[in-house]
Amino acid sequence: MSAGTPQGNRPTAILIIDDEENMRHMLASMLKREGYAVETAADGQEGLDKIRAALFDFVLCDIKMPRMDGMAFLKAAQPDAQGATIIMMSAYGTIDLAVEAMKLGAYDFISKPFKSDEVRLAIKKAEERDRLKRENRLLREQVRRFEARHRFGNLVARSAVMQKVFELATKVAQYNTTILITGESGTGKELVAQAIHQAGPRQANPMVPVNCGSIPETLLESELFGYVKGAFTGADHHKKGLFEEADGGTIFLDEIGDMPVSLQVKLLRVLQEGEIRPVGHTGSRAVDVRVIAATACNLVQMVAQGTFREDLYYRLNVICIDLPPLRERGEDIPLLCQHFIARFNAALDRNVKGISPEAMALLLGHRWPGNVRELENVIERAVVLSGDEWLTPDNFQLAGAPDASLSPGEQILDGYSIKSAQKLMEREMIVKALKATQGNRTQAARLLEISHPSLLSKMKAYSIDM
């Protein structure tokens, strides 16, 4: 920074407060030669009047003065200093006095007598500090604007398709409309639901997540709607259901495609009437719950197959938010990598700075069958195992990444091993079935004509995460 232009084209303004006329004259002459705009005051009260009337960047203030000394000026000036940096001067300097001045807001302390270079150096240091503060403020503002454009809740993205998702989610968050979130496994459906809840008027109330595919069919109704004492064997007390726990807030029904048809009609009643009926109870209870559902299944196809109620589908699909797979928004990968590295650096006490260009090219070329969840796991593993500040290709093991130059058929026929070819074909068929069913493993097992446990076992063996 030059002495004459701290902000725009306005010269740096300095106020010198000292009761000794010779000191005022010497300092003013020296600083004017350096290009500063200088004014002087003979005591603290005059100095206080001047900073109230005009804007100064720096104040050089003596401590021992009549009427109002430097310490009294320092206390009185804080509300009116308008960001001016105050440097104290004294011929009676002690460490205790300097510490006290710093506590009251002074930036520096110079002991008299001093050489002119000491004053120049003190001001140059203060100018540098102010420059860094302005740059930090500008950087924080740029980061804030960047995050506002590229963040929604805990999701980060810069791609145009995800910006549209953020825009739509922000709009619908303000209303109690039922929302259906679709997308492949690992695309962040629950994060979108959480962000919608937090951005809406229900944020002070609970959001209750339910994975409809992980609760046995025989228990799902009582989990959702609760039950009364004596409703079934073992029901020795009344129990609230998850809808009641979410009263006033949001319930997130994940994997809604896995909900049994027999229970779908009861969920439809809740959506239409705003009432639940606990298992074993003859009456209904009103609940005020916003419903957000999510699925990796193709519900339109399930409706056509008769495995999902058409009326429930249309009731859920008031607003549909479709999350694209990561392979269709590769421009988000560098930003997501940066986001995950920062998170794991903090969690694991590491200091990884970034990803080498060669490693980034590897990540950008991967198809990410597990989407953002797979990328997160890959980055965490790389941060844990890396011994360097930069992640290199050696730090990444991408599951299911065959030679891209070979077609699936060529990969199967590459070599002579029947066992290897059988495994490659099995893997391709499983991936194909999972894609056809939008990640629904139960439906995929039926298409493949194998049991559900067998499918899960093969997916684990072939490192398939969909």
Residue 33's identity, in one-letter code, is R
Q: What is d(CA 97, CA 118) in angstroms, rounded to the nearest whole number?
A: 19
Q: Residue 281: which of 231, 348, 356 has the closest Cα?
A: 231
Q: What is d(CA 182, CA 164) in angstroms, rounded to the nearest whole number?
A: 15
> What was the pLDDT predicted at 361?
87
**Own/partner pairs, 18-27, CB within 8 angstroms, 24+ separation:** 18/42, 18/60, 18/61, 18/62, 18/65, 18/89, 19/43, 19/62, 19/64, 19/65, 19/66, 20/62, 23/62, 26/116, 27/60, 27/119
CATH number for the region 327-395 comes to 1.10.8.60
Class of domain 13-141: alpha beta
Q: What is d(CA 7, CA 27) in angstroms, rounded to the nearest whole number?
A: 23
What residue ranges of the chain are covered by domains with CATH 1.10.10?
408-461
> What was the pLDDT predicted at 417?
52
Exposed e or buried b per residue across 358-384, where buried means at least 16 C-beta atoms within 10 angstroms of its C-beta: ebbebbeebebbbbbbbbbebbbebbe
What residue ranges of the chain are covered by domains with CATH 1.10.8.60?
327-395
**Own/partner pairs, 337-344, CB within 8 angstroms, 24+ separation:** 337/363, 337/375, 337/379, 339/156, 340/375, 340/376, 340/379, 340/380, 341/379, 341/383, 341/391, 344/379, 344/380, 344/383, 344/384
Sign of the Cα pseudo-torsion (179, 183, 186, 187, in order): negative
> What was the pLDDT predicted at 419?
56
End-to-end CA distance of the chain: 55
CATH code matching the domain that covers 156-324, chosen among 3.50.50.60, 3.40.50.300, 2.60.40.420, 3.10.20.30: 3.40.50.300
> What was the pLDDT predicted at 404?
42
440: left (phi over 0), alpha (psi -120 to 50) or beta: beta
What residue ranges of the chain are covered by domains with CATH 3.40.50.300?
156-324
DSSP assignment letter at 46:
H
> What was the pLDDT predicted at 148?
56
194 φ, ψ to 5°? -60, -45
Helix, strand, coil proportions of the chain in percent (round to 5)? 50, 15, 35
CB 250 within 8 A of CB 290: yes
Q: Residue 15: which of 45, 37, 34 has the closest Cα?
A: 37
3-class secondary structure, 307 = coil
> What was the pLDDT predicted at 75?
87
Task: Please count the residues of the chain.
Answer: 466
Structure tokens, 289: 């719950």
Mean pLDDT by 10 residues, the chain (466 residues): 52 91 92 92 92 90 88 85 84 79 86 85 87 76 61 85 92 94 94 94 95 85 82 72 92 93 90 86 85 94 92 95 92 90 90 89 89 94 90 83 46 52 78 84 85 81 72
CATH number for the region 408-461 comes to 1.10.10
Separation in Å, CA 216 to CA 219, 259, 454: 5, 10, 19
Residue 145 CB neighbours (<10 A): 10
What residue ranges of the chain are covered by domains with CATH 3.40.50.2300?
13-141
CA angle 430, 431, 433 (to 5 degrees): 65
> What was the pLDDT predicted at 405?
42
